[in-house]
Structure 1
Amino acid sequence: MALLFGGVLGLLVYLRPTGIVPPKDPPSAWVPSAAVDAAQAWLEGWERVTYDWRVRELGERSERPDEAVVIAIDDETLAEARQDVRPGVATQPWPRQLVGRMVHRLVQEGALLVLVDLPFTDLSPNACAEASPASLSCDDAAFAAQLAKDPGRALLSFTWEAQGPRVLPPANRLWPYRVKLGVYDASDAASLRAQAVLAAQRPAFIIPAGSQVEVWGGAMDAADGKALGSRLGATAHVIEERRAADDSYRVGPTELFVALAEVQVEGLDAANLIELRQVQHPVVPLLSGSAGFGASTLVAGQDGRVRAVAHLMSYTVRGKRHILPSLPLAAAMRLAGTRSLRYADGKLHVGDQYAFPMSASGLSLLRWDAPNAGRGSRGSLARSIRAWNVLLNVFDVADERPARFENDLEGRTVVLTRTAGESAHLRSTPLGPETPGGAILGQALANILRSEGITRAAPDLDLLLTVGLAFLGAFLALSLSFLLRSVRGAVLYVGFLVAAGAGYAFGAAYVFVEQRLWVAMAGPLLAMVGAFVATIRYAYGTERQIRDFVHNALGRYVSPDVARLVARDLSLMRPERRKMSVYVCDIEGFTRLSESMPPEQLVGLFNAYLTEISAVVRSTAGQVDKYIGDSVMAFWGAPVRTDRHAHLACEAALKMREVLTERQSAWEKKYGRRLSFRAAVDTGELVVGDLGSEMKSNYTVLGDAVGLASRLEAINKVYGTYVLAGDTTAQLASGSYVFRVVDLVRFKGRPQPVRVHELVARRGEITPRMQEQLALHEQALTAYHQRRFAEAHALFERASHEYQDTVAALYAGRCARFLVTPPPADWDGVHGMEEGEPSAAAA
Structure 2
Amino acid sequence: MAVLFGCVLGLLVYLRAPGLAEPRDESSGWGLAAAFDGAQAILDGWERASYDWRVRELGERSERPDEAVVVAIDDETLAEARQDDRPGVATQPWPRQLVGGMVNRLTQEGALLVLVDLPFPELSPSACVDPKLSPQPQLAPSDDAAFRQLLDREPNRALLAFTWESQGPRVLPPASRLWPYRVKLGTYATPADARTRVQAVLAVQRPAFLIPTGNQVEVWGGATDEADARALGGRLGVGSAAIEERRAADDAYRVGPTDLFVALSEVQVEGLDSSKLVEVRHLQHPVAPLLRGSGGFGAVSLPADPDGVVRAIPHLVAFTVRGQRHVLPSLPLAAAMRLAGTTRLRYADGKLHIGDEHAIPMDASGFSLVRWNAPTAGRGSRGSLARSIRAWNVLLNVFDVAEERPARFDNDLEGRTVVLTRTAGDGGHMHRTPIGGETPGGAILGQALANILRSDGITRATPDTDLMLTMGLAFVGAFLALSLSFLLRSVRGAVLYVGMLVAAGAGYAAAAAYVFIEQHLWIAMAGPLLAMVGAFGVTILYAFSTEREVRDFVHNALGRYVSPEVARLVTRDLNLMRPERRNMSVYICDIEGFTRLSEGMAPEQLVGLFNEYLTEMTAVVRSTAGQVDKYIGDSVMAFWGAPVRTDRHAHLACEAALKLRAALASRQDAWEKKYGRRLSFRAGIDTGEVVVGDMGSELKSNYTVLGDAVGLAARLESINKVYGTYVLVGDATAKLASDVYVFRVVDQVRLKGRPQPVRVHELVGRRGEITPRAQEQLSLYEQGLTAYHQRRFAEAHAAFERVATDFQDSVAAVYVARCARFLVTPPPADWDGVHGLEESGPTAAAA
TM-score under structure 2 length normalisation: 0.63
Q: After TM superposition, give the deviation of residue 244 of structure 1 in Å.
A: 3.1
The residue identity in structure 2 corresponding to 1:466 is T
Determine the C-alpha separation between the residues in 2 that align with 1:24 and 1:378. Answer: 35
Q: After TM superposition, give the deviation of residue 434 of structure 1 in Å.
A: 0.8
Counterpart in 2 of 1:115? 115
Matches for 1:350-499 after TM superposition, within 5 Å: 350-499=354-503
**C-alpha spacing 1:222/1:433, structure 2 compared with 1 (3 Å):** same
Q: After TM superposition, give the deviation of residue 224 of structure 1 in Å.
A: 2.8
Is the partner of 1:274 in helix, strand or coil?
A: coil
Contact 2:148 2:290 in 1 (8 A): yes
Contact 2:95 2:128 in 1 (8 A): no
The residue identity in structure 2 corresponding to 1:102 is M
Q: Deviations over 1:618-677 (max 9, x none)?
A: xxxxxxxxxxxxxxxxxxxxxxxxxxxxxxxxxxxxxxxxxxxxxxxxxxxxxxxxxxxx
The residue identity in structure 1 corresponding to 2:173 is P
Counterpart in 2 of 1:126? 126
Determine the C-alpha separation between the residues in 2 that align with 1:345 and 1:550. Answer: 58
Is the partner of 1:194 in helix, strand or coil?
A: helix
Q: After TM superposition, give the deviation of residue 231 of structure 1 in Å.
A: 2.1
Q: After TM superposition, give the deviation of residue 363 of structure 1 in Å.
A: 0.2
Q: After TM superposition, give the deviation of residue 230 of structure 1 in Å.
A: 1.7
Contact 1:483 1:489 in 2 (8 A): yes
Determine the C-alpha separation between the residues in 2 that align with 1:188 and 1:471. Answer: 61
Counterpart in 1 of 2:838? none
Q: Which moved more, 1:441-450 or 1:159-168?
A: 159-168
Counterpart in 1 of 2:101? 101
Is the partner of 2:194 in helix, strand or coil?
A: helix
Q: After TM superposition, give the deviation of residue 432 of structure 1 in Å.
A: 1.0
Contact 1:123 1:137 in 2 (8 A): no
**C-alpha spacing 1:133/1:436, structure 2 compared with 1 (3 Å):** closer
Counterpart in 1 of 2:63? 63
Counterpart in 2 of 1:792? none
**C-alpha spacing 1:371/1:316, structure 2 compared with 1 (3 Å):** same
Is the partner of 1:101 in helix, strand or coil?
A: helix
Counterpart in 2 of 1:15? 15
1:273 to 2:277 alignment? yes
Is the partner of 1:91 in helix, strand or coil?
A: coil
Determine the C-alpha separation between the residues in 2 that align with 1:281 and 1:135. Answer: 24
Determine the C-alpha separation between the residues in 2 that align with 1:423 and 1:116. Answer: 19
The residue identity in structure 2 corresponding to 1:106 is L
Matches for 1:20-99 after TM superposition, within 5 Å: 20-22=21-23, 32-99=32-99
Is the partner of 1:17 in helix, strand or coil?
A: coil
Determine the C-alpha separation between the residues in 1 that align with 2:38 and 2:379. Answer: 37
Determine the C-alpha separation between the residues in 1 that align with 2:138 and 2:289. Answer: 8
The residue identity in structure 2 corresponding to 1:56 is R
Determine the C-alpha separation between the residues in 2 that align with 1:73 and 1:302. Answer: 29
Determine the C-alpha separation between the residues in 1 that align with 2:90 and 2:421. Answer: 18
Is the partner of 2:478 in helix, strand or coil?
A: helix
Contact 1:134 1:200 in 2 (8 A): no
Determine the C-alpha separation between the residues in 2 that align with 1:514 and 1:547. Answer: 50
Counterpart in 2 of 1:345? 349
Contact 2:297 2:334 in 1 (8 A): yes
The residue identity in structure 2 corresponding to 1:232 is L
Q: After TM superposition, give the deviation of residue 194 of structure 1 in Å.
A: 1.1
Q: After TM superposition, give the deviation of residue 26 of structure 1 in Å.
A: 9.5
Counterpart in 2 of 1:217? 221
**C-alpha spacing 1:120/1:400, structure 2 compared with 1 (3 Å):** same
Q: After TM superposition, give the deviation of residue 423 of structure 1 in Å.
A: 1.3
Q: Give the superposed CA RMSD.
A: 2.8
Contact 1:124 1:137 in 2 (8 A): no
The residue identity in structure 2 corresponding to 1:492 is L
Contact 1:176 1:241 in 2 (8 A): yes
Is the partner of 1:321 in helix, strand or coil?
A: strand
Contact 2:469 2:528 in 1 (8 A): yes
**C-alpha spacing 1:214/1:265, structure 2 compared with 1 (3 Å):** same
Counterpart in 2 of 1:164? 168
Determine the C-alpha separation between the residues in 2 that align with 1:128 and 1:483. Answer: 82
Contact 2:140 2:146 in 1 (8 A): no
Contact 2:166 2:282 in 1 (8 A): yes
Q: After TM superposition, give the deviation of residue 137 of structure 1 in Å.
A: 6.8
Determine the C-alpha separation between the residues in 1 that align with 2:139 and 2:50. Answer: 53
Q: After TM superposition, give the deviation of residue 175 of structure 1 in Å.
A: 2.1
Counterpart in 2 of 1:226? 230
Counterpart in 1 of 2:767? none
Counterpart in 1 of 2:815? none
Contact 1:311 1:362 in 2 (8 A): yes
Is the partner of 1:316 in helix, strand or coil?
A: strand
Determine the C-alpha separation between the residues in 2 that align with 1:292 and 1:264. Answer: 15
Q: After TM superposition, give the deviation of residue 548 of structure 1 in Å.
A: 8.7
Q: Deviations over 1:226-247 (max 9, x none)?
A: 2221222113311223333322
Q: After TM superposition, give the deviation of residue 374 of structure 1 in Å.
A: 2.0
Contact 2:55 2:434 in 1 (8 A): yes
Identity %: 75
**C-alpha spacing 1:490/1:374, structure 2 compared with 1 (3 Å):** same
Q: After TM superposition, give the deviation of residue 133 of structure 1 in Å.
A: 13
Determine the C-alpha separation between the residues in 1 that align with 2:358 and 2:53. Answer: 28
Q: Which moved more, 1:199-208 or 1:435-444?
A: 199-208
Counterpart in 2 of 1:182? 186
Is the partner of 2:538 in helix, strand or coil?
A: helix
Matches for 1:630-709 after TM superposition, within 5 Å: none
Q: Which moved more, 1:363-372 or 1:174-183?
A: 174-183
Q: Deviations over 1:678-705 (max 9, x none)?
A: xxxxxxxxxxxxxxxxxxxxxxxxxxxx
Q: Deviations over 1:277-300 (max 9, x none)?
A: 111111111111132111111110
Counterpart in 2 of 1:503? 507
Contact 1:268 1:343 in 2 (8 A): yes
Counterpart in 2 of 1:640? none
The residue identity in structure 1 corresponding to 2:94 is W
Determine the C-alpha separation between the residues in 2 that align with 1:474 and 1:542. Answer: 15
The residue identity in structure 1 corresponding to 2:64 is R
Q: After TM superposition, give the deviation of residue 510 of structure 1 in Å.
A: 0.2
The residue identity in structure 1 corresponding to 2:523 is V
**C-alpha spacing 1:32/1:180, structure 2 compared with 1 (3 Å):** farther
Contact 1:176 1:221 in 2 (8 A): yes
Contact 2:432 2:438 in 1 (8 A): yes
Is the partner of 1:323 in helix, strand or coil?
A: strand
1:138 to 2:142 alignment? yes
Counterpart in 1 of 2:664? none
Determine the C-alpha separation between the residues in 1 that align with 2:555 and 2:34. Answer: 46
Contact 2:266 2:328 in 1 (8 A): yes
The residue identity in structure 2 corresponding to 1:396 is D
Q: After TM superposition, give the deviation of residue 398 of structure 1 in Å.
A: 1.0
Contact 1:127 1:136 in 2 (8 A): no
1:526 to 2:527 alignment? no
Q: After TM superposition, give the deviation of residue 143 of structure 1 in Å.
A: 0.3
Q: After TM superposition, give the deviation of residue 186 of structure 1 in Å.
A: 5.0
Q: After TM superposition, give the deviation of residue 269 of structure 1 in Å.
A: 0.9
TM-score under structure 1 length normalisation: 0.63
Counterpart in 1 of 2:843? none
Q: After TM superposition, give the deviation of residue 311 of structure 1 in Å.
A: 0.5
Determine the C-alpha separation between the residues in 1 that align with 2:268 and 2:138. Answer: 31
Larger Rg: 2
Contact 1:136 1:200 in 2 (8 A): no
Is the partner of 1:532 in helix, strand or coil?
A: helix
Aligned residue pairs total 556
Determine the C-alpha separation between the residues in 2 that align with 1:71 and 1:281. Answer: 22
Structure 1 alignment gaps of length 5 or more: 553-563, 569-843
Is the partner of 1:8 in helix, strand or coil?
A: helix
Structure 2 alignment gaps of length 5 or more: 130-135, 557-563, 569-847
Q: Deviations over 1:120-169 (max 9, x none)?
A: 1111111479xx99999700110011011011110111111110111111
Q: After TM superposition, give the deviation of residue 21 of structure 1 in Å.
A: 3.9
Q: After TM superposition, give the deviation of residue 484 of structure 1 in Å.
A: 1.2
Matches for 1:749-788 after TM superposition, within 5 Å: none
Counterpart in 2 of 1:704? none
Q: After TM superposition, give the deviation of residue 76 of structure 1 in Å.
A: 1.2
The residue identity in structure 2 corresponding to 1:289 is G
